[in-house]
A and B are shown apart, each in its own frame.
Chain A
Amino acid sequence: MRNSLRAKTLLICSFLLLLPWLGYRYIWEMEKVLRVGQERNLLGTAQALATALHERPTLFSSQPQTGTNTQRDLYAYRLPAPITLDGEFDDWLGFEQHIKTYGRHYVQFSRYPYRQEDYAFRHMLGRHGDHLYALFDVTDNTLITRRSASSRLDRSDHLVIAMTTPEGRLQHYAIAGQETGPVQTYAVDGEISDTAALSPISYIQGYWRNHQHGYSLELQLPMDHIGDMLGFSWSNVNDSFNRDIDTVIATASIKTATSLGQLIAPSEEIDRILKAMTHSQAHLKVIDNQRRVLAKTGQLNPQQSLWSNSLNTSDNVVSRLLAPLYEWLFPLPKLDTTPESTDDAKILGLHVTQALAGQPYVRWRKSEDDKDVIILSAAHPVYVDGKVVGVVIAEETNLGIQTLKVEALKGLFSLSSAIILLGITTLLLFASHISNRIRRLRDNTERAIDTQGRVQEKITIDQRQDEIGDLSRGLATMMDRLDGYHQYLEQMSSRLAHELRTPVAVVRSSLENLAFCETEPANMPYITRAQEGINRLNTILSLMTEATRIEQSLEQVDREQYRLDELLDGCTHGYSLAYPDTQFNVVLPEQHLHVMGSPDHLVQCLDKIVSNAIDFHVANTPIDIRLVVLGESAVQITIANQGPLLPAEMEDQLFNSMVSLRKKGKESEHKAKQEKPHLGLGLYIARLIVQFHKGEITLANRSDRQGVVVTITLPLIAA
């Protein structure tokens, strides 16, 4: 492809494609800024909550600070509704993942090698209002119930509940295995085997349900009876005769208060404080220094994000049409489920560690559901007496930012596409316009001057006031000057002749006067020679004006119709008489050929060419003159001679005035002295005459390279 203006413009246009890239970079930077903003914001939220919790020892002091054995600790999950005590699991739906299995590692005693398939239980705690709910699902293929006659509880499968009272005293309760139905709980004040120590109580209620691989038990315990420590111990009896305990599995050793596990329950007080923050967009958690969740609120729900609400997405036909394209180009991360799979009993992570060390910290982590969604967690420590007692964790997804980003990308895409399209179209149109104008100017310029360098037509001036207009005006001026100069050159000979004529006349008349007066015969030859010279000079002057004269007379002459064949016939007869030493081969057609023009001038033209041909022809070779009809509308005269070839580059120039190939020296050697001097005007005049006839004249070497042929093509008219 040629390096046209249009192609170059397209190349330049391609820089427009940088626009979307720049926009994308900008949006990317914006996203970074927004992220930092979101970090600050979220940390601010966390800090605000932490500020509300600082220096309130009561909120955290109820939680023992000493415990490190989290295996024993029991975590009470916040239940959305109170549990119906029926031994069914349906109330606990949604918490299945928190049910913990107590098996091999929790075996306190086993008479035989322990097999988890035979005996284990699953358990979880929940809290609603003032009540603590416990669920047990015991795997046991032999249910040994309490004998109805016996008052002993430990001679059957039984559960022992150990807790510290709010005052810190260790208190045991026991429930014996039974058939499906509500249970009776006994407070054990002493040894469980001592029936006197057992006293039935009603504030711990429960429901026992047997099923095919064991039994389940739901318990309801009042919070105000429970201190910090809690433990459950299940004893299994397999032999209904001796009723010895075979296996004991417990959440912790229930022998002493300190060996029990801590009960960690979401704090109601913190909850209330947290409630004040529910209108925050963040998902908030308060954990203690054991990384256990004390309270939490909010959701990582992107649909309620402040970000997306703040966007006014336009809804029109174009955007609806483009919507599928945009969805494909810029997919928005989907986040249907709340990505909250971490156990509330134990919040891990660097941010917590840092916060526990007293350092507010923000971290980004990838969601497990959708890798594009990033969850931002900000952790801020809560201080009591200068010690970190807990951590506030605020979490948010970057979905809002993503939404903003996608919206921005859509906008950017639409806008930059429009700009690029518009820009490229405009630039292309502009370039086409410019290049068309330049091309027109070029064609115009090419047409303006013919191969002989003559100005043929004026350049059409581009009127517009810009550089191309200036160029065309400049070229037009140049053409005018060139034309003027050309005319000056062509008239040069006649002007020169005119100017020389007067001094020549002076010399001539003086010489003639001298000739009249001269008496000394010895001087006469010089005077005669000078007069001869003057005569030749005169002839030259006449020839010099001839071309101009022809031009002037052609301007005045009327065109007439005449027979070309007849004219050529007459001419050739004339030539035979005028040049008796030369042979002419003449070929003329039979038909009558009519042309329009001036016969006298055409004869002059032919005279010049034939005279030229004779001057250059090799002696004793014929001159070929042919008249050939070219189709209906043109006729061709060719005059060919054998002789020296034309120099290649001279062919066109020979038709210009004052250009001649004749060698002066050679001419004067063997041509007669009185012959006309040559000025190289013959072919110039011939061309003028042929142009007057609306024809063309060319001069070329013969195809057989033997000489030169002149071809005159004239338009024919119908007779």
Chain B
Amino acid sequence: MKSIVIVEDETAIRENYIDVLTRQGYQVKGYANRTEAMAGFEQSLPDLALIDIGLEDEIDGGFQLCQTLRAKSPTLPIVFLTARDSDFDTVCGLRMGADDYLTKDISLPHLMARIAALFRRSEAQGQQTDDSDVIDRGLLSVDKGKMHVHWDSHAIDLTVTEFWMLHALVRRPGVVKSRQALMEEAHVVVDDNTITSHIKRIRKKFIAVDSNFDHISTVYGMGYRWQEPK
């Protein structure tokens, strides 16, 4: 049974999440602040951590917690679940090694899907590849089952949101995906501008391994599409 820790200072939300995740068959522990959470982590590490950024009187307590956890385990999936949705916080959180950054307006089914996906990815890391879920587009290969992306055999480390967006583009190359459509694919409710910055981040991650990468193109007024390499 997978164990999940929720660090959330808002009791109602914490209890709701614990209830729903318990119902899904996870073993769930909830902590209200960083001190309690640290004490808990000292005893045992969970399989996944769901962390709020603002914890009681510590406005950046979640970030510290994330750093400590990442130091303890480089592979432990960490998800920020927070009310803070500024670009700055998102970038910060992801840089600290979180695997996903979700805002609290996400619905519970979406949250559970994310958690399931993350578990799937961490499980897949040690196992043999199941070819059935792999999409190959030239140099690109996207493994939906493991949520792995490779470009010219370089692993591209995407967050879950970014992965679903890329997946949506790659699945039907040449077809323009509107921002709304991308939002739905990634199961997030954000504004257009957030989509734009996600796309930018995805591009940057590809360009980091291949400076000539230009396969995600903007179609002005409509959205984005995956351009097949010529």
Contact = CB atoms under 8 A, between A and B. Distances in A.
Interface of A: 498, 501-502, 504-506, 508-510, 512-513, 516, 531, 535, 538-539, 541-543, 545-546, 548-550, 552-553, 556, 567-575, 577-578, 599-600, 603-604, 606-607, 610
A612 to B, nearest CB: 14
B38 interface: no
Contacts of B107: 508, 512, 531, 535
Interface in B1-38: 10, 12-13, 16-17, 19-20, 23
Given A501-B83, A542-B105, A604 B220 contact: no
Contacts of A545: 85-86, 191
B16 A552 contact: no
B104 A505 contact: yes
Contacts of A550: 193
A599 B218 contact: yes
17 contacts: A498-B85, A501-B105, A502-B13, A502-B104, A505-B10, A505-B104, A508-B108, A512-B107, A542-B85, A543-B191, A549-B87, A549-B191, A553-B193, A570-B219, A570-B220, A575-B221, A607-B221
Nearest to B218: A600
A509 B87 CA distance: 24
B218 A501 contact: no
A504 B105 contact: yes
Nearest to B190: A542
Contacts, number: 115
A510 B16 contact: yes
Contacts of A543: 191
Contact of A574 (B16, B86, B109, B222): B222
Contacts of B194: 549
The 10 A-B residue pairs whose C-beta atoms are closest, nearest first, are A574-B221, A570-B220, A509-B16, A571-B221, A574-B222, A505-B104, A501-B83, A512-B108, A538-B105, A546-B191
A600 B221 contact: no
B192 interface: yes
A276 to B, nearest CB: 115
B221 A504 contact: no
Given A501-B104, A516-B20, A538-B105, A506 B12 contact: yes
A535 B191 CA distance: 14
Nearest to A543: B191
Contacts of B103: 501
A498 B220 contact: no
B68 interface: no
Contacts of B109: 512
B17 A509 contact: yes
Contact of A506 (B13, B23, B85): B13
B196 interface: yes
A574 B221 CA distance: 5
Given A546-B193, A572-B221, A575-B221, 19 more contacts: A501-B104, A501-B105, A502-B83, A505-B83, A509-B20, A510-B12, A513-B16, A535-B189, A539-B189, A546-B192, A552-B87, A552-B88, A570-B220, A570-B221, A573-B222, A574-B220, A577-B222, A578-B221, A600-B218
Contacts of B200: 600
Contacts of B129: none
Given A513-B108, A548-B86, A599 B17 contact: no
A546 B190 CA distance: 9
A538 B106 CA distance: 9
A550 B83 CA distance: 18
A506 B20 contact: no
B94 to A, nearest CB: 15
A556 B204 CA distance: 15
A604 B178 CA distance: 12
Which interface residue of B12, B87, B103, B220 has the most chain A CB atoms within 10 A? Answer: B220
B84 interface: yes
B108 A509 contact: yes
A682 to B, nearest CB: 11
Given A508-B105, A513-B16, A603 B86 contact: no
B125 interface: no
Contact of B197 (A506, A553, A568): A553
Nearest to A537: B105
A556 B104 contact: no
A89 B205 CA distance: 143
A259 B49 CA distance: 161
Given A505-B104, A509-B17, A552-B88, A599 B220 contact: yes
A570 B17 CA distance: 45
Interface string B210-230: 000000001111100000000
Contacts of A577: 222
A553 B219 CA distance: 20
Contacts of B220: 567-571, 574, 599, 603
A501 B218 CA distance: 31
Contacts of A548: 86
Contacts of A538: 105, 189
A420 to B, nearest CB: 69
Given A516-B20, A570-B221, A578-B222, A552 B189 contact: no
Which interface residue of B16, B20, B109, B221 has the most chain A CB atoms within 10 A? Answer: B221
Nearest to A552: B87
A574 B219 contact: yes
A527 to B, nearest CB: 13
A513 B196 CA distance: 33
Given A574-B221, A578-B222, A604 B16 contact: no
Given A502-B10, A549-B86, A603 B221 contact: yes
A531 B105 CA distance: 12
B9 to A, nearest CB: 10
Nearest to A575: B221
Given A549-B87, A567-B220, A516 B23 contact: yes
A82 B219 CA distance: 141
A541 B106 CA distance: 12
Nearest to A577: B222
Contacts of A570: 219-221
B196 A600 contact: yes
Contacts of A498: 83-85
A157 B219 CA distance: 157
A278 B196 CA distance: 121
A702 to B, nearest CB: 23
B213 to A, nearest CB: 17
A553 B83 contact: no
B85 to A, nearest CB: 6
A660 B190 CA distance: 22
A535 B105 CA distance: 8
A156 to B, nearest CB: 153
